[in-house]
Amino acid sequence: MARVALVDPAAATGAARSVLDEVNGAFGTTPAMFKAVANSPAALEMMWAGFGALGGGRLGARLGEQVAVLVADRNSCEYCLAAHTALGRKAGASAGEMREAQAGRSEDERTRAALGFAEKLVRDRAQVTDADVEALRSVGFDDEDVVELVAHVALNLFTNYVNVALGVPVDFPTVPLLADR
């Protein structure tokens, strides 16, 4: 059971109503996470704008979703793991690629480097080194890509914290967390 009210989109007003209408238009429904965050119109607007901005970024939806499942798994966020696995499939990743990303693995060296960097950001609370950034550059990332990757991790940390801390019920097909992380 959620620790905050899940705002009924039909009863929402002002900025929350406007964003929830956009969310519903994008998903065909209003996922529970957005209903929880709608308790704060400012937080809802920030989150939705972040998803929009990063969704149109250079890293692409597929890599963004692969990073999201890794971050969700490391933070034990069942909600985000389920949601981003489904979204990753819509973005063109196979079920196997999403499972591998959740574990921090990929056959693609660029994806593998991004996942490794994201994992270090989460695990070490952003304490990365020059060598960590250089590892991204060695597979073709530039400064724009590096900053965007950090932004993906930061946005996912926010949504993980919302869902875990507030007990948001999972309304996507569930995906098991890894036991050996």
Cα–Cα distance, 119 to 150 (Å, whole number) = 11
Contacts of 76 (CB under 8 A, 6+ apart): 164, 177
Q: Phi-psi region for residue 170, left (φ > 0), alpha (ψ -120 to 50) or beta?
A: beta
The candidate with the shortest Cα–Cα distance to 159, out of 81, 59, 61, is 81
**Residue 113: what pLDDT?**
98
Q: Quick check: 31 and 18 in contact, CB under 8 A?
A: no
Q: Which domains does the chain have, with CATH numbers?
A: 14-55 (no CATH), 61-166 (1.20.1290.10)
Q: What is the DSSP letter of 74?
A: H
Give, for all 181 residues of the chain, the pLDDT tens digit: 899 999 999 999 999 999 999 999 999 999 999 999 999 999 999 999 999 999 999 999 999 999 999 999 999 999 999 999 999 999 999 999 999 999 999 999 999 999 999 999 999 999 999 999 999 999 999 999 999 999 999 999 999 999 999 999 999 999 999 987 6
Within the chain, residue ranges assigned H as helices are 14-27, 32-37, 41-55, 60-74, 78-90, 95-102, 109-123, 130-137, 143-166
Cα–Cα distance, 177 to 102 (Å, whole number) = 8
**Residue 181: what pLDDT?**
62
